[in-house]
Structure 1
Amino acid sequence: MTQTWEQRTYLPRSGEGKHLAEVVSFLDAHERRFDDRVEPRYLLVGAGAGDQVPLPAEVHAILKQVVSALSAGRAVTVAPHTTKLTTQQAADLLGVTRPTVKRLIAVVELPAEKIGTRHHLVLRDVLDYQQRRRVQQYDALMSTSVVLDDEDDPAVVAERLKTARKAVASRRRSRKTTA
């Protein structure tokens, strides 16, 4: 088997949806049947008797996600990453600038190892930061949300939205002065 380390995108094939739906249905039924009582065991099976190898849980999770996406008619991109990242690679992954990553390292929000004059980050740390940041963003959205009814007066709604925007701006200003 030749190993390819480049990024590759897989497109759903027409007519393949039914077979993929059967796989998704099988996996969902199996998980509902056993809940968390039993550790599921999945095997990759070959043509010969006894020709099988157990799949690690991570590989099973990847395959399940790929099958679900393809069955929904979505394309899937597999992009191998190194587990050690430069500040630029971390910035690209997070969708921010390299100076932002350097600032996150300086304020110890993102752990990094300094080798010579360069910082190296562990992929797991970057992904953990990304998840923590996403949770913070959703929490901030929920804390500044405004409940609206169809019967609300537009002037009252506008005032509620203005108050929410002020709260967000105040929070941003206080974050910038502490950083």
Structure 2
Amino acid sequence: MSAAALREETYLPGAAEQVAQVFDFLAAHESAGRGRPEPRYFLAGPTPSDRVELPAEVHRVLQQVVTALQQGLAVTVAPTTQTLTTQQAADLLGVSRPTVIKLLDNGKVPFERVGTHRRVLLRDLLEYREQRRAEQYAALEATAIDLDDEEDLETVLQQLRETRRAVARRRRSA
């Protein structure tokens, strides 16, 4: 398939029986419990000699696609380059372009300059996004408090304020 033929495409669930067979096969394969041999995955054609080995990345993509289709979800595959403009990076992170520029200039995400333009590697941006999510989950965890049914609402609100202040102090010192 040529690069020009690659385009964003959405796949809707269908052929539920076939998707269920693939899902069951993948689930059985992972839960076999026969140790962890080096995984190898193949795409087979109509004859036994007609097969090709799939890279692990392609297998992971197929697993996600089959799992989503099994759950009745549609799947969109959108090819993208590995070097992004600041606007593409902003779209991927769900933030504004000026915010991405600040992240780049503050050294939060590595980038390269091509003339006067900044270019961000997709790998670096995805790594930053995962790091940011981990920090956000940690912050949520830090603000979680145990609620006792018998505690006064004012007491709970005061505990929450104190926890938020502590998180803000840690964030400022980091």
* TM-score, with structure 2 as normaliser: 0.89
Q: Tell me which residue corresponds to 2:38.
A: 39
Counterpart CA distance in 2 for 1:131 and 1:152 is: 37
Query: Matched residue of 2:39: which SS?
Result: coil
Query: Matched residue of 1:119: which SS?
Result: strand
Q: Tell me which residue corresponds to 2:145.
A: 146
Are the equivalent residues in 2 in contact too, given 1:144–1:167 (CA < 8 A)?
Answer: no
Counterpart CA distance in 2 for 1:94 and 1:30 is: 34
Counterpart CA distance in 2 for 1:129 and 1:106 is: 14
Query: Matched residue of 1:160: which SS?
Result: helix
1:71 Cα deviation after fit: 0.3
Q: Tell me which residue corresponds to 1:88.
A: 87
Are the equivalent residues in 2 in contact too, given 1:45–1:51 (CA < 8 A)?
Answer: yes
- Bigger shift: 4-13 or 47-56? 4-13
Shift in CA distance, 36/143, structure 1 to aligned 2, threshold 3 Å: farther
1:98 Cα deviation after fit: 1.0
Counterpart CA distance in 1 for 2:63 and 2:98 is: 37
1:139 Cα deviation after fit: 0.8
Unpaired stretches in structure 2, ≥5 consecutive residues: none
CA-based RMSD of the aligned residues comes to 2.1
Are the equivalent residues in 1 in contact too, given 2:20–2:70 (CA < 8 A)?
Answer: yes
Are the equivalent residues in 1 in contact too, given 2:41–2:59 (CA < 8 A)?
Answer: yes
1:17 Cα deviation after fit: 2.8
Counterpart CA distance in 1 for 2:35 and 2:139 is: 32
Counterpart CA distance in 1 for 2:17 and 2:151 is: 47
Are the equivalent residues in 1 in contact too, given 2:13–2:72 (CA < 8 A)?
Answer: yes
Look up the equivalent residue of 2:54 and give its one-letter code. Answer: L
Q: Tell me which residue corresponds to 1:55.
A: 54
Query: Matched residue of 2:156: which SS?
Result: helix
Query: Matched residue of 1:33: which SS?
Result: coil
Q: Tell me which residue corresponds to 1:7.
A: 8
Q: Tell me which residue corresponds to 1:136.
A: 135
Look up the equivalent residue of 1:37 and give its one-letter code. Answer: R
Cα deviation per residue 1:35-87 (whole Å; 9 max; x = unaligned)? 66201211111112300001110000000000000000111110111001111
* TM-score, with structure 1 as normaliser: 0.87
Q: Structure 1 stretches (4+) deviating beyond 4 angstroms?
A: 168-172
Q: Tell me which residue corresponds to 1:111.
A: 110
- Bigger shift: 139-148 or 64-73? 139-148
- Bigger shift: 19-28 or 76-85? 19-28
Q: Tell me which residue corresponds to 2:72.
A: 73
- Bigger shift: 151-160 or 115-124? 151-160
Shift in CA distance, 35/96, structure 1 to aligned 2, threshold 3 Å: farther
Counterpart CA distance in 2 for 1:144 and 1:26 is: 42
